[in-house]
Amino acid sequence: MSDKAPAATRKPIRVGLFATCLVDLIRPRIGFASAKLLEDAGCAVEVPLQTCCGQPAFNSGDRKTARELAAQAIEAFEQYDYTVLPSGSCAGQVIVHYPELFEGNAAWEPRAKALAAKTFELTVFLNDVLKVTPSARFDGAVTYHDSCSGLRELGIKAQPRKLLANVEGLNLVEMKDPDVCCGFGGTFCVKYPDVSNKIVEKKTANIAASGAGTLLAGDLGCLMNMAGKLSREGKEIRVRHIAEVLAGMTGEPAIGEPER
Amino acid sequence: MKSREAIFANIRKSLRTGGEDGKRRETVAARIEKHPRGIIPARGQKADRERLEVFRQTVEDAKASIVILGNKDDVPAAVAAYLRSKNLPQSVRHGEDERLSLIPWAKERTLEVTKGASDGAQLASVSYSFAAVAESGTLVMLSGADNPTTLNFLPDHHLVVVDEKDIAGDYESVWDRIRERLGANKMPRVVNWITGPSRSGDIEQTHLLGAHGPRSLHVLVVRSS
Amino acid sequence: MTQTVNSPHFKENARKALDDVFLQQALARSEKGFIERRKAAVEKLPEYDALRDSARDLKDHILAHLDLYLEVYEKNVIASGGHVHWATTAEEANEIILGICQRLNAKTVAKGKSMISEETGLNAYLKKHGIRPIETDLGEYIIQLRGETPSHLIAPALHVTKEQIEADFRRAHTGLPPERNLDEPTSLLAEARAMLREKFLAADVGITGANFLIAETGSSVIVTNEGNGDLTQTLAKAHIVISSIEKVVPTREDAATFLRLLARTASGLDLSVYTTFSTGARRAGDPDGPLEYHVVLLDNGRSNMLGGKFQDMLRCIRCGACMNHCPVFHAVGGHAYGWVYPGPMGAVLTPSLVGVEKGGQLPNASTFCGRCEEVCPVRIPLPKLMRNWREREFELHLQPAAARYGLGLWAAFARRPAIYRATTSLAMKFLRLFGGKGRFRALPLAGGWTRHRDFPAPQGETFQSLWRKRSQKR
């Protein structure tokens, strides 16, 4: 653990972990990896009763549902010092869009803004807020995909790379166009499967061309999309959330691999 | 006129305003009258000789060629040399600009010089530019008998003389000079900003020179003493 | 609306585009160039981002005073000897232009590039009335020979390969000896130049669009790299400008601000080769230039966009950067969008101008990756505006029932956290039973996903239930 971690004598920072619905349902180990990283940094992690941040409703034009789910999340998470999400896209929903959803609403706008101000995507929280550098070991070459919302709504680009640079044995090789969309786009990938497929095909070609054996990113949606395509194409590249590597939890099956 | 009124009425309805709102009118009149400058890139904002160097660079970046001459008397030889370098006949056409008439063309005995607009039959033309802009390597040409617009576009090769003192840092300075010459809100029929020779990227996005306008643009800067 | 709206068929159009080998070749070839050229130009200009902010603010100011700037513009066009015509609809604009052409006994019309004339379907209209329109922008000329519409704002023939152009030229240019070599882009360009030079000299009327209209002086501004717009307007008896109303800018200084952004963002040049400010007709003593100068100002639904949720779209200066950076455009090209304007800007503008009932597919066909907004020179929040359209569609119940039902069901659970936790916990255990290989190659109700991709199987239990177990153990 880094020497910059808060001293044990101080009251620990209370962090509400918003796992996101995909992590909750599909890949809990990303939640545990996130919790481990936060706890190792001296935070007290809590997981309040939670569902979805509301982004699918928001992006489908259902503002009413989006608002209801936002209010629900605000109520669940505003009690903590910080809210942390292992997803740039869901973090963007809370940080950028919750205040927008309640614009002009005297009761909720201040609450939405207050929550937004203390909400962070996991790698940003570790790198920029806690300023810790988790130590882990991973032997091999990895390539990192910048998920769109995290990159463009929250400016996440340097943080994951800085954290990965500290992982012993890890060699980060950049793919061509790491900042170009993978074609997931939430409901887009099922509404326009053919177009989405064309986009992810370019992505998996770039991933494969990088020569890395492992693909990392900070958003499970994008990871499932790319993992699903790599597996359909028979490309032997393992796919993981960055938290799994940072937390040293790479002994477990990668995304799309059978559980042991 | 029915459509005109309908459009104005609908704009005002959408903007939730009446046309007679005095404050709005004042704002608009003031902007037109004061024509405030926007952000001007530092690139062209240099003192004389340095500005000429920026201009030389931006002209070349725009794929035009440029020579810097000591004085006006050097123009005929430079024109003749350029035509030779392009394997062109020693013949150019230019307009009525007095500055062009004062050039001692006779010094180049084989150079044929004709006057007037272009009908598309000429291979090379010479114009005298009103101004130039260092920021982007741009020549500013005004229409009229002095420098007919057709000479800018129809010949295959366009040679343009620029006085060093007329090279501005930015477009805004040139607008002010046009205001000085013609009056507050006046323009000649056409102002052509020319930045490099004609080109097209429409065939497979490959940039090729010489689409409809001149295939080559040659700038002759006459130094101010 | 004169040009047919094929946007409701975006999905089928996209499928066709994905199967079109030539198109896919053309798209793959052009993708990098636009992006790299813009990037290099922007990096060379430290003031670029500050210019974007000021251009955004300036456009907002203009739109808030649009009626008044149009009044000043009109007054100054008339003062400089030009004529202004107002058209609320596409049909009206076409009629006005036809009227001018007929009065001048025009047989052929040379045209510079104009997206507004695509919006009005001007070429087809003129042809129907016995007047021959000739597109002079090389890209526009190529697609006119092919009987197509532009697939990109500034690169209308983006979708065509050079072999296809050669075939088109051989078909259309009947005096062309078969032994003439047209293998190279340069020889194709030379052939087009020679062919079009004759057309310029023969045209009775020249029609161009306008990138900007300057209120202060009554000038129209066009930018081209070829010089075709200049030959079009200089050599004909009359110059007709067709423009939409939101193109007006207050002063020459303001035009300079936009011009500093336009070419850099569009094609990576500091400026387009020819930036032309036209004010009125030939003056006394002028040896060249048109004898008449007309401006046709088209509304076509734009005044309805002011003051509302889509006003920001009227800031657009038609640089094409949004589509140049769009993964969906890169996959399917411009024609799939089914109307005049493709890419992200088209996805917002099309429903604004033709109605959400017809244009509603387009704002849905976006991954919301946000790259369009990132490169927009006037900072139009394109994803947000697309989302606004999705909201409008949702309110009007225009989305497919299945999507609506699926989302509604999900929302019903998501709004009840305790039930959600219990139900999902069971559901994931159940799903896990079938996902022994770690992934599904097919999954009921998820055909959209599994047609092209495997679906990674869930771990088995939900995070929330596992976390509770862990907490209880402690």
CB B2: neighbour CB atoms within 10 A?
Answer: 9
A46 and A20 within one domain: yes
| Residues C145-159: tens digit of each pLDDT | 999 999 999 999 999
- Does residue A177 fall inside a structural domain? yes
- List all residues of chain B from 134 to 163 with a beta carbon under 8 Å from chain C: 135-138, 143-145, 148-150, 152-154
Confidence check: pLDDT of C133 > 90: yes
Confidence check: pLDDT of C1 > 50: no
CA distance C383 to chain B (A): 23
3-state secondary structure chain C: CCCCCCHHHHHHHHHHHHHCHHHHHHHHHHHHHHHHHHHHHHHCCCCHHHHHHHHHHHHHHHHHCHHHHHHHHHHHHHHCCCEEEEECCHHHHHHHHHHHHHHCCCCEEEECCCHHHHHHCHHHHHHHCCCEEEECCHHHHHHHHHCCCCCCCCCCCCCCCHHHHHHHHHHHCCCCCCCCCCCCHHHHHHHHHHHHHHHHHHCCEEEECCCEEECCCCEEEEEECCCHHHHHHHHCCEEEEEEEHHHEECCHHHHHHHHHHHHHHHHCCCCCCEEEEECCCCCCCCCCCCCEEEEEEECCCHHHHCCCCCHHHHHCCCCCHHHHCCHHHHHHCCHHHCCCCCHHHHHHHHHHHHCHHHHCHHHHCCCCCCHHHHHCCCCCCHHHHHHHHHHHHHHCCCCCHHHHHHHHHHHHHHCCHHHHHHHHHHHHHHHHHHCCCCEECCCCCCHHHHCCCCEECCCCCCHHHHHHHHHHHC
Confidence check: pLDDT of B225 > 80: no
- Confidence (pLDDT) at B19: 64
A175 and A143 within one domain: yes
Average pLDDT, chain A: 95
Q: Does C64 touch chain A (CB under 8 A)?
A: no
Q: What percentage of chain A carries pLDDT values higher than 90?
A: 95
Phi then psi dihedrals of residue C70, to 5 deg: -65, -40
Confidence check: pLDDT of A7 > 80: no
A68 and A18 within one domain: yes
Q: What is the DSSP letter of B78?
A: H
By Cβ distance, the residue of C366, C394, C460 closest to A61 is C394
Q: Which of A70, A93, A127 is the last residue of a domain?
A: A127
- Does residue A178 fall inside a structural domain? yes
- Confidence (pLDDT) at A194: 97
Would you place residue C404 in the very low, low, confident or very high pLDDT band (cuts 50, 70, 90)? confident
Which token pair is C338? Answer: 């089914």
Average pLDDT over residues C44-66: 98
Average pLDDT over residues B121-139: 97
Give domain B46-222's CATH architecture. Answer: 3-Layer(aba) Sandwich (3.40)
Q: Does A77 touch chain C (CB under 8 A)?
A: no
Which top CATH class is C7-303?
alpha beta
Would you place residue A8 in the very low, low, confident or very high pLDDT band (cuts 50, 70, 90)? low
- Confidence (pLDDT) at A175: 98
Would you place residue C356 in the very low, low, confident or very high pLDDT band (cuts 50, 70, 90)? very high
Q: Which of A127, A157, A189 is the last residue of a domain?
A: A127
A57 and A33 within one domain: yes
- Confidence (pLDDT) at C170: 94
A15-19, B221-225, C88-92, C464-468: range with lowest mean pLDDT: B221-225
Domain count, chain A: 2
Average pLDDT, chain C: 95
Which token pair is B37? Answer: 């400058």
What dihedral angle (degrees, nearest 10) is formed by the CA atoms of A14, A19, A20, A21? -130
Confidence check: pLDDT of A4 > 70: no
Q: Among C305, C241, C228, C232, which Cα is nearest to C273's?
A: C228
- Confidence (pLDDT) at C151: 95
- Confidence (pLDDT) at C4: 86
Q: What is the CATH number of the domain that holds A212?
A: 3.40.50.11810
Confidence check: pLDDT of A41 > 50: yes
Enumerate the domain spans of chain B.
1-34, 46-222
A103 and A22 within one domain: yes
Which residues in chain B are contacts of C59 at CB distance < 8 A? none
Instruction: Give the count of Cβ contacts less than 8 A between chain B and C.
Output: 264
Q: Which of A88, A111, A127 is the last residue of a domain?
A: A127
- A139 versus A259: the higher-pLDDT residue is A139
- Does residue A18 fall inside a structural domain? yes
CA distance B225 to chain C (A): 30
Q: What is the CATH number of the domain that holds A59?
A: 3.40.50
Instruction: Give the count of Cβ contacts less than 8 A between chain A and C.
Output: 218
- Does residue A260 fall inside a structural domain? no
Domain of A120, in residue numbers? 14-127
- Confidence (pLDDT) at C143: 95
What dihedral angle (degrees, nearest 10) is formed by the CA atoms of A185, A189, A192, A197? 110
By Cβ distance, the residue of C235, C286, C307 closest to B145 is C286
- Confidence (pLDDT) at A9: 60
A218 and A158 within one domain: yes
Average pLDDT, chain B: 96
Would you place residue C434 in the very low, low, confident or very high pLDDT band (cuts 50, 70, 90)? confident
Q: Which residue of A has its CA nearest to C14?
A: A195
Would you place residue C431 in the very low, low, confident or very high pLDDT band (cuts 50, 70, 90)? confident
Average pLDDT over residues A57-68: 96
Confidence check: pLDDT of B1 > 80: no
Average pLDDT over residues C421-431: 89
The reply to whether CATH 1.10.1060.10 applies to domain C304-395 is yes
- Confidence (pLDDT) at A6: 52
Q: What percentage of chain A carries pLDDT values higher than 70?
A: 97
Cβ distance of C307 and B120 shorter than 8 Å? no
Average pLDDT over residues C28-34: 92
Q: Does C48 touch chain A (CB under 8 A)?
A: no
A35-44, A118-127, A169-178, C420-429: range with lowest mean pLDDT: C420-429
Confidence check: pLDDT of A2 > 50: no
Enumerate the domain spans of chain C.
7-303, 304-395, 401-473
d(CA C160, CA C23): 7
- Confidence (pLDDT) at C2: 61
pTM, to two decimals? 0.95
ipTM exceeds 0.90, yes or no: yes
| Residues C165-223: tens digit of each pLDDT | 999 999 999 888 888 889 889 999 999 999 999 998 899 999 999 999 999 999 999 99
Which token pair is C441? Answer: 């190659």
| Residues C279-310: tens digit of each pLDDT | 999 999 999 999 999 999 999 999 999 999 99
- Confidence (pLDDT) at C474: 76
Would you place residue C406 in the very low, low, confident or very high pLDDT band (cuts 50, 70, 90)? confident
- Confidence (pLDDT) at C286: 95
| Residues C99-130: tens digit of each pLDDT | 999 999 999 999 999 999 999 999 999 999 99
